[in-house]
Chains A and B, each alone.
Chain A
């Protein structure tokens, strides 16, 4: 399958533990080119660990991760950086650099990886911010922005280098429902406009149904079910049903 051009990201039998905490226990997940994959699961089941492994922020204990058919788990920092140029990542709280203004944040990748001048970078930053409905914020500092604006600026930074793959770490967490829906719309638009492959992790089912081509459920360190939103909704698996309906009682124990 490694040579299959329609597969963008292929995770095979991924394991990771932190001390005694065995988080990922054999993850298998394939994301096709141009597909929007949403990984759902409870808090603390290792959703973040999974996408951080995919972008090489965390080194897995064993297993393989292929990006465009290239194995990344054995790569050194230098070659990993080349792979990372294919990625954009939206962090949960934005992770904007506080010491830089909004446009410098958005243009960070351009400044470090292209020979563009400040004027051109600022123009691109303003354009990307406009794409996300943000106007005349480019000279503000991140501390002057609201939570929803920070997420959008972070998204602008993630798409500034026109990545092939976007990773979203809980894109709607901590936002009011209207802002959350606006972010969902943006994610859907991004996929249509930029034709990117994406993995989003979330426990917000409204968001998952809206942005996903396929949904994968992570439970006890394994992907227990993958399917279209419709298939997931109709799943016969009691664990999946409990999670998507948000019930306290069932096979998953609230911790």
Chain B
């Protein structure tokens, strides 16, 4: 019995320790964003990597999600003759929930893993130490551009996801299930408010920050050679996804 409490205690302490260090890294990052010099070139190249190169993944994910959503909702709503409301459901689900969450998860998998692996490799090959010896702050040089680029580009990707997801739902409803296009579009617009989109974009900003800071943290404090880089990469993706899903509930419950 004591051993069980021992384990719980150890894990709880480790959890507090890690949360503390992530918070410190987050604080440093925010502080350093506003301190010159500003490395705009690096931030832009990260924006290309995080944003532009993630478009295909996000487009495919959201297109098929919108499509399957239309299919499923249609099956259910048909049972009480509410097929015309499929457009409303698709639009609200995608903008408020599925767009930001799925984009956050896909970007964590694609970009978070790359960040952790790159920074982790730099740590174990002493490149991060080398930055210190060249009187450069590695948090400023490595973490800040990745953080800023994620903060800006994840919401942009979510806009893509929203548009493509709604188009996917429209395509299935109109072309496959034979819904009247005019009715579908009117039902989509009638019940959607601007706040649905805003709330999704706010979530996207938060998910972008979570993904960037957790992945950079895992990479930045990697220990133990190639194996350590592998573990850091896995942890970055798993932890980013979990924190995104958990925080998603609380953001929704508190703000909307």
Listed in ascending order, the chain A residues whose CB lies under 8 Å from chain B are: 52, 55-57, 77, 81-82, 84-85, 87-89, 91-93, 95-98, 108-109, 112-113, 157, 161, 167
Complex alpha-carbon distance, A52 and B132, angstroms: 11
Are B130 and A85 in contact (CB-based, < 8 A)?
no
Please provide the chain B residues from 77 to 104 with a CB less than 8 Å away from any CB of chain A in the complex.
Answer: none
The one of B121, B126, B136 in contact with A92, judged by C-beta atoms closer than 8 angstroms, is B126
Q: Which residues of A contact B182 (CB under 8 A)?
A: none
Are B134 and A109 in contact (CB-based, < 8 A)?
yes
Complex alpha-carbon distance, A112 and B121, angstroms: 22
The one of A85, A92, A93, A98 in contact with B135, judged by C-beta atoms closer than 8 angstroms, is A85
Q: B164 CB to closest chain A CB, in angstroms? A: 32
Are A91 and B136 in contact (CB-based, < 8 A)?
no
The residue on B at minimum CB distance from A108 is B134
Are B136 and A112 in contact (CB-based, < 8 A)?
yes
Q: How many residues of B contact A (CB 8 A)?
A: 14
Are B136 and A93 in contact (CB-based, < 8 A)?
no
B133 within 8 A of A: yes
The one of B122, B127, B129 in contact with A57, judged by C-beta atoms closer than 8 angstroms, is B129
Are B130 and A97 in contact (CB-based, < 8 A)?
yes
Q: Which residues of A contact B136 (CB under 8 A)?
A: 81, 108-109, 112
B137 within 8 A of A: yes
Q: B81 CB to closest chain A CB, in angstroms? A: 59
Are A93 and B133 in contact (CB-based, < 8 A)?
no
Q: B11 CB to closest chain A CB, in angstroms? A: 18
The one of A77, A82, A87, A112 in contact with B133, judged by C-beta atoms closer than 8 angstroms, is A87
B125 within 8 A of A: yes
Are B132 and A84 in contact (CB-based, < 8 A)?
yes
Complex alpha-carbon distance, A21 and B129, angstroms: 22
Q: A164 CB to closest chain B CB, in angstroms? A: 13
Complex alpha-carbon distance, A88 and B130, angstroms: 9
A91-B126, A95-B126 given as contacts; is B133 within 8 A of A57 (CB)?
Answer: yes
Complex alpha-carbon distance, A77 and B132, angstroms: 10
Q: Report B103-144 CB contacts with A as 1/0, cut-off 8 Å.
A: 000000000000000000110011101101111110000000
Please provide the chain B residues from 209 to 223 with a CB less than 8 Å away from any CB of chain A in the complex.
Answer: none
Q: Which residues of A contact B135 (CB under 8 A)?
A: 81-82, 84-85, 109, 112-113
Q: B53 CB to closest chain A CB, in angstroms? A: 16
Complex alpha-carbon distance, A93 and B124, angstroms: 11
Complex alpha-carbon distance, A38 and B172, angstroms: 74
Complex alpha-carbon distance, A55 and B133, angstroms: 7
Complex alpha-carbon distance, A93 and B129, angstroms: 12
Q: B172 CB to closest chain A CB, in angstroms? A: 43
Complex alpha-carbon distance, A93 and B125, angstroms: 7
Q: Which of B127, B129, B133, B137 has the most CB of A within 10 A?
A: B133
Are A56 and B127 in contact (CB-based, < 8 A)?
no
Q: Which residues of B contact A91 (CB under 8 A)?
A: 126, 129-130
Q: A131 CB to closest chain B CB, in angstroms? A: 19
Q: B204 CB to closest chain A CB, in angstroms? A: 27
Q: List 14 A-B contacts (CB under 8 A).
A: A52-B129, A55-B133, A84-B134, A87-B133, A89-B130, A91-B126, A95-B127, A96-B127, A96-B130, A97-B130, A108-B134, A109-B135, A157-B134, A161-B134
The one of A95, A108, A113, A161 in contact with B129, judged by C-beta atoms closer than 8 angstroms, is A95
Taking A88-B133, A91-B130, A97-B122 as known contacts, 19 extra A-B pairs with beta carbons closer than 8 A to each other, sorted by chain A number, are A52-B129, A56-B132, A57-B132, A77-B137, A81-B135, A84-B135, A89-B130, A89-B133, A91-B129, A92-B126, A93-B125, A96-B130, A97-B127, A97-B130, A98-B121, A109-B134, A112-B37, A112-B136, A113-B135
Q: Which residues of B contact A161 (CB under 8 A)?
A: 134
Q: A57 CB to closest chain B CB, in angstroms? A: 5
Q: Report B33-49 CB contacts with A as 1/0, cut-off 8 Å.
A: 00001000000000000
Q: A198 CB to closest chain B CB, in angstroms? A: 14
Complex alpha-carbon distance, A175 and B58, angstroms: 47
Q: A115 CB to closest chain B CB, in angstroms? A: 11
Q: B40 CB to closest chain A CB, in angstroms? A: 14
Are B130 and A95 in contact (CB-based, < 8 A)?
yes
Q: A104 CB to closest chain B CB, in angstroms? A: 12
Q: Which residues of A contact B130 (CB under 8 A)?
A: 89, 91, 95-97
